[in-house]
A and B are shown apart, each in its own frame.
Chain A
Amino acid sequence: MRYNKIMKLSPRVKIGLIIVLLIAFFIVLNLTSFSKEVKNFFYLISSPIQKTLWRAGDNLSDFFEVISEIEKLKKGNEELLLKNQALLAENTRLKELKKENEVLREALEIGLEKEFKLLLSEIRGKDISQDTLLINKGSKDGISKGFPVITQQKALIGKIGEVYENFSKVILISNKESSFDVKISDSDIQGVIKGKGNLKLFLDLVPQEKEIKEGNLVVTTVLGGIFPKGLLVGEIEEVLKSDIQPWQEAKIKPAFDIKELETLFILINF
């Protein structure tokens, strides 16, 4: 009888009744521990499948992650290579600066800057057969013909010959056309240094009565006004004495080593 009454209800009422009953069922289910038991049952029977699916998903996501990482790594590698190149370039520049700094420091230690106004320059070319050097400073840097050129150890190299806008030629003291006044260090013996070419130097015009020995140091004098006084020219290597000549001659070993030369100082004001 009651069942027939329910069957006669309209569909909307039936749906509403079902929803209300379901809500009531779920409220009761969740308020009691029954829901926990239901969940526990499903977890128990699903655990092996879940474990397998979890591992498969983990592996597959790892695989895709590796693929996407490869692209990232490739990009990162390219960026690092570029960065590395930039750092290498910077490193080279810093090394050059360090070298320059060391040269300047050495010059400072011997007090070169107090005596003269200096300009640091680098050698760009060496022409031993002509006894000339090419340096990277020119008229743009205030260089003029005749400026003396020395090493950081205060050893005389030569003087400026041709001057270009950015470069200059240095005529070495061993050049055939080079000739200037010198004296033996710690004595009053004077003479003239003459270049013989091919890095050879000779001391000439030393009176016969004056005694010069091997190992004596030769320095510049102010006579002639070509170079400032006290610059080291070289060391007497061999004394060439001849009774028939009024002057004695000596072979001089230059104070600089052409192979080691890389940086020079130009005396702008002396």
Chain B
Amino acid sequence: MKKILILIPFFYILTLFQTSFFTHFNIFLEGGFLGWALNLILIAVILIMVFDPHTKIGVGAAFIGGFFLDIFSENFIGFHILILVIFAFFIKFILRKYVR
């Protein structure tokens, strides 16, 4: 629970960086990074899940990250949450079945 509370300001700041600071750089724009836009929230979720696979913190991180992305984007609230949570479950499944 403590970790989750730390993740809230972390993802809030990260989203602000993603939407206000890094938008000036091409690799964070649509098509700028191997045809995609580099998404710091997604990278953070993946890293959290890889380094802490046994807890449910990864799914929580995906939820919080998705929430802030939804707040600062034009999509309806829940769009990124849904994508990131499904993605988190998918990674968890992959890690459990093939890595450990």
Among the listed A26, A39, A57, which residue makes an inter-chain contact with B21, where contact means beta carbons less than 8 Å apart? A57
A61 to B76, CA, bound (A): 30
B16 at interface by CB-CB < 8 Å: yes
CB distance from A70 to the nearest CB of B (A): 18
Q: Does A46 contact B16, Cβ atoms closer than 8 Å?
A: yes
Chain B residues near A17 (CB-CB < 8 A)? none
A50 at interface by CB-CB < 8 Å: yes
Q: Does A54 contact B21, Cβ atoms closer than 8 Å?
A: yes
Q: Closest A residue to B15 by CB, please name it.
A: A46
A: number of interface residues (CB 8 Å) = 22
A49 at interface by CB-CB < 8 Å: yes
**A61 with B16, Cβ < 8 A, contacts A30-B77, A30-B78 known:** no
A56 to B19, CA, bound (A): 13
Chain B residues near A61 (CB-CB < 8 A)? 24-25
25 A-B pairs within 8 Å (CB atoms) are namely: A22-B78, A23-B78, A26-B78, A26-B82, A27-B78, A29-B78, A30-B77, A30-B78, A35-B76, A38-B71, A38-B77, A39-B77, A42-B71, A46-B16, A49-B20, A53-B16, A53-B17, A53-B21, A54-B21, A54-B24, A56-B21, A57-B24, A57-B25, A58-B24, A61-B25
The residues of A with any CB-CB pair to B shorter than 8 Å are: 22-23, 26-27, 29-30, 35, 38-39, 42, 46, 49-51, 53-54, 56-58, 60-61, 64
Can you add 5 more A-B contacts, CB < 8 Å, to A26-B82, A50-B20? A23-B82, A35-B77, A38-B77, A53-B21, A54-B21
